Structure formats: structure tokens, C-alpha cells
Amino acid sequence: MCGIIGYAGHRPAVPVIIEGLRRLEYRGYDSAGVAFVQNKELNIVRAEGKLANLETKLESINVTMATSGIGHTRWATHGVPVERNAHPHCCQDGSLAIIHNGIIENYQQLKAELLEKGYEFRSETDTEVCANLIAECLRSTGSLDTAISMALQRAEGAYAIVVCDSRNPGTLYAARQSSPLVMGIGQGENFLASDIPAFLPYTRDVVFLEDGEMVRIDANSWSVMNVKDLSPVEKQVHHITWDVQAAQKGGYKHFMLKEIFEQPRVISDCLTGRMDWKQRTVTLPELEQAAIPSRLHIVACGTSFHAGLWGKQLLEQWAGVPVSVEIASEFRYRQPIMQQGEAVLVISQSGETADTLAGLRLAKEQGLPVIGLCNVVGSSIAREADTVVYTQAGPEISVASTKAMTSQMTALALLALYWGIRKGVLPDETRRAAVDGLEKLPGQLESELPRMREEAKRLAREYSSARSFFFLGRGLSYPLALEGALKLKEISYIHAEGYAAGEMKHGPIALIDPEFPTFAVAPADDLYPKVKSNLQEVQARSGRIIALVHPGADLAVDSPWVMAEAWGPLSSFLALPALQLFSYEAADYLGKDVDQPRNLAKSVTVE
Ligand code: M6R
């Protein structure tokens, strides 16, 4: 769960690497470091904390001579987040430096072997073990590519590594296994990175590396080979069209706020190419060749899991497809019953979430077709799924996922309509109402967002002294309540629990008192009367309530928050941003690091 970058070219390497690391900081940020060779000497500079600390350290060093090097931002998996555990690590004789994203699971065993051979270690990391293992293999083979190949065949687990050799600093080697790694192809310069934004100001030509591949780059050439036998592998160069501005804040105080305000566009973009506005129907070209499953298993984590819970209800109601939704880290370690004719839908913004990827692989092993619902083009899940439906939401930088969920819900609504139409089970009236509703939705949300933000700001100030919150909802609003609670806890650190409103009386209601407020999602749907009674039970215990309601709601709560109406289930698209904005404003008011909350990383590539 780290960000890595390697550069070989014609510019001073360190500024290019630092700039790349800044754009990768969302991947983890408890320490950072760079390695480069100058005057034949390998220099490693590392600092605990955010990238700014590393930059301060580099200010006193002349780094203009090196035209190649490697850099890393770390999110600790082995060893506490202190400077000695920061990357790059080097082998004992100081000739090789290495950066690594992932976990080498058998590193203790490898370390024991190396200790016996007389190696000494300065850190607690699996990465330093890898550096010394490569150095040990190099002693016997004399060639670095063979040494890396030998070492990696002994390593079990996940890795994307880049290796720099002080004796040949203009050439970098890299390899991947279950961790993201892409190569940028420039003019007289080449790049390696965990993610494309790292090198986007310099090139848009990208090669996606696959598991088991190794690559060698220098300023003017690159080659990809099989890590086991070093046989050449042919690769295609892809041209990326989105620009780096899309990954910048665009005038907003935080990426999270920018991404919340992007949601109207995200809905339109997700509809693009999938709506036949004339015929008032939906087409999903990606799924035209695929059979409609007899049962769908949705597998995902975090916010994507909540989107899956929301989508289940529409898929069952509109398409008549039975759906189970499971957290990927549970699914992967069960023996789920999957039968012929069924399919798995994995949902992941990043397309790199380790547990979701493992769920995908389990499904494939059992012979089930896998559909990926992903945002990141070329991500591991996108490449390994049999079919991909892209959410087309653009890069999401804030650790707290917002626009990704809106795009996933949009795509799931389209999927439910598409399968319902194909099966002939969706009433015409519903199809027409849904298409009308979707057409209006982006404009409606666009005009509501500024007002929603003002209300969110006011309520966040009033309630931000609470130590705990309940988020309640029923039906389609239940997954929204789960998401509201997740958002609040992850960025404001206020304890929050999401519950199905009907479950309150089975235990949680015992916690209610005047200091424990409840945030209810109570749109005017069929379940409104039921939610209303649940909220009366909360009020009877002196609990304060914020309730997202539709105009005309007869709920006498402390803080009614009247939201605009959309057609039927589409009202969720107006409730979700309200929940996101409430959390955002609470976290900002409390002075929290909104985009990079403590202990979290954007892309969870370890289990
Ligand atoms: O990239 P993915 O959608 O697979 O990520 C899943 C979760 O890690 C992610 O949604 C996480 O829960 C977010 N921090 C929520 O805001």
C-alpha cells in the first residue's frame, strides 16, 4: 500500500521523483524516501512523516547531477513507521537500493537463511530482506536480471519492486506480483510507478505490467521479460487521454470536497454511451455477449460494498436476479457455494483492493464468469475480470470515497435496468420513469449541492461535539446509513454506527441518551412510516435526531433536513451527497486531515 516511482532519463531525477511521489501520496504516507547515484555513490535520503519532511531534508543536498533514481511513499505493513523502516532499503554492501510495495510473506524464513550467511539487517522490513536476497543471488550469477529473477522465485506474497544498482545507475529493474506497477514511455526518459498520475506531466504512453513480469529501463530503451526464465514478453503501449489537472484540487479546499461536487458530472459520464435517449432505454455494450446470471454474487470492500448492498435491491426488483452481497475479506476465506449459470460482480474503485482481487480469483478458479465494476482503467481487477464495466468517474484522490460510490450506484442502476429489459421483466412504466429520472438527475444534483453544503456546514457545527452517532435507514437507505457512518468515522474520528432502523430495538437503542445523536435517512418511500416509528422510539429515550426527509414529511425531529425529491430509488443520489457533506464539514470544522485521514490509505493492496 505504498507509492513507488523509478526514473531513468535526461532530467535531474530527484525533482521528477518528488513530484511523482506527491501525486502518489494518497497511497500511503507515513514516511518517504529517495535513492540516486551521484559521483558513483549511492545516496539514500529518507524521512518519517509526510513528503514535506523529505523535501526539507533534500534542501541541504545538491541533487542536480543524478538523472536516474527511485522514490517511495510508505504505508507501514512491516515495522513501525520510523525512518529506519522507510524505503529505499539497500543491501548490506550498499551497492543495491530497492523500493517495494506489498508484503513478502516468507521474509522471516528468508531472513533467517541470510542471517546464517552473515548478513546483518538495519530495519525490520521484508524489503531489506529482499535487497539482501538479490545481493546474495548476484554473488553467484554475476548478472542483476538473473539475480532478481532467482530472488523473486523464492519470495512468496505480493510485490512491486524497483531496483537501482550503484554500478550501473542509469538502468533500473522492476517486477510485479499482485501489486500495481505501470511503465511510462517518454522521449529519452522512462518511468516506473504504482500509478499513472506519478508521471503524467511527462508522458501519456503507458505499458501495464502483469503479474510475473519483469522490466528493464534506461533513458532510451525498455524491455519486458518473464520473471522466471527472462524470456522476452511483447507489450502494447496504451495512450492515456485524461490529464493531470483532473487529479488536482481545482480550487476546492480538499480533494474530498471537489470530488463531492463532481458527482453530477460523474453521473452523466457514467451514463455516456449507455443510454439510448431516443428509445428511452439502456444498453450496456460491455455485457451484450454475456449471459444474464441465474444468481449474482457481489464481492467488495468498504464503500464499494455499500454500493453493492444498494444495487442488490434494484437488481432483484427490476431484473429479478437473486443477489448476495459479501465483504471480500470474508468471501475469500469461505467456501462459497457458486453454481453453473451464476456470476460474480466485483466492485472496486481502485481495482487493486487485495481482498476483492482474491475474491475475483476464487470465483475464476471455480469457473464462474467475473464482471468487474471498476474505476481505474488497466487496474489488476479490470484486467483479470472476464468483462469490465468502467464507472468512468475519473481519478479519486481523497482517501474517503465519495464520487466512486455515486458512479457505482449509477452503473448498478443501469445494470438492473439493462438486465430487466433484456429478460423482459421490467415494466415499461418503470423503464420510462427510470430513464426520465436519470436524465434529470445530474442537473438536479448540480443545483442542490451548494444549498446542501450550507445545511451540512450548519448541522456539522451544531453536532460535532458528539462522541458517537447512529446512522439509520431502511431499504435503499440502509446502505446509505452504513456509508454515512463510515464517512463520519473515517475522516472526523467521531464514533459512528450504521444500522437498519428496525434493528435498533434489538440492542443498540440502549445506547441512546441526549449525548448520542442519530442521523436518519428517511425519504418518502414505502418504508417511511416504519422509519418514523423507529425514530419515535429514539426520541422517547431523549435522543436528538437529524433526519434527511422529503418535503411535507410529518416528522417532528430536532433537525429536519429537507432534501429535493427524485424519482423513486433515484432519491438516494440526493441523500448520499448530504451524508458525505455532513462528514466533510464535521471533519473540516474539527481541523482533521480530511484527504489523508490517519491510519488509512487510498488503495488497500494488502489483506
Ligand atoms: O478501491 P476499492 O473500491 O476496492 O476500495 C474499497 C475500500 O477500501 C474503500 O471504499 C474504503 O472503504 C474507503 N476509505 C471508504 O471511504
What is the CA 468 to chain-centroid distance, rounded? Answer: 26
Ligand 1 contact via 391 beta carbon (within 6 Å): no
Predicted local confidence at residue 76, as pLDDT: 67
- The answer to which of 78-82, 196-200, 355-359, 468-472 has the lowest mean pLDDT is 78-82
Ligand 1 geometric centre to CA of 270 (Å): 19
- CATH number of the domain at 256-589, please? 3.40.50.10490
Residue 498 and residue 485 in contact, taking contact as beta carbons nearer than 8 Å: yes
Does the pLDDT at position 26 exceed 80? no
79: pLDDT confidence band, cut at 50, 70 and 90? low
256-309: per-residue pLDDT in tens? 999 999 999 999 989 988 999 999 999 999 999 999 999 999 999 999 999 999
Does the pLDDT at position 1 exceed 60? no
Q: Is 374 a catalytic residue?
A: no
Judged by DSSP in three states, 362 sits in helix
Q: What average pLDDT does the segment 58-72 reach?
A: 93
Report phi then psi at 183, rounded to 5.
Answer: -120, 135
* C-alpha distance from residue 452 to each of 410, 423, 432, 461, 551 (Å): 20, 39, 28, 14, 14
Beta strands 3-8 and 172-177 are: unpaired
Ligand 1 contact via 501 beta carbon (within 6 Å): no
What is the CA 464 to chain-centroid distance, rounded? Answer: 27
Ligand 1 contact via 213 beta carbon (within 6 Å): no
Does the pLDDT at position 530 exceed 70? yes
- Which ligand 1 atom lies nearest to the CA of residue 400? 16
DSSP 328-353: HHHHTTS-----TT-EEEEEESSS--
Which range scores top for mean pLDDT: 237-241, 373-377, 396-400? 396-400
337-379: per-residue pLDDT in tens? 999 999 999 999 999 999 999 999 999 999 999 999 998 877 8
Q: What residue ranges of the chain are covered by domains with CATH 3.60.20.10?
A: 3-248
463-518: per-residue pLDDT in tens? 999 999 999 999 999 999 999 999 999 999 999 999 999 999 899 999 999 999 99
Does the pLDDT at position 246 exceed 70? no
Contacts of 475 (CB under 8 A, 6+ apart): 313, 525, 526, 527
pTM (predicted TM-score): 0.77
Ligand 1 geometric centre to CA of 256 (Å): 14
How far is the C-alpha of 429 from the C-alpha of 441, rounded, in Å?
18
Predicted local confidence at residue 77, as pLDDT: 60
How far is the C-alpha of 113 from the C-alpha of 136, rounded, in Å?
11
Beta strands 31-38 and 68-74 are: antiparallel
Q: What residue ranges of the chain are covered by domains with CATH 3.40.50.10490?
A: 256-589
Mean pLDDT, the chain, whole residue set: 94
The class (CATH top level) of 3-248 is alpha beta
Predicted local confidence at residue 378, as pLDDT: 76
Amino acid at 88: P
Angle, helix 572-589 to helix 477-492, in steps of 10 degrees: 20
- The answer to which of 115-119, 239-243, 308-312 has the lowest mean pLDDT is 239-243
* C-alpha distance from residue 176 to each of 85, 99, 227, 318, 324 (Å): 21, 12, 9, 42, 33
Ligand 1 geometric centre to CA of 351 (Å): 10
539-583: per-residue pLDDT in tens? 999 999 999 999 999 999 999 999 999 999 999 999 999 999 999
Bridge partners of residue 162, in order along the sequence: 99, 174
521: pLDDT confidence band, cut at 50, 70 and 90? very high
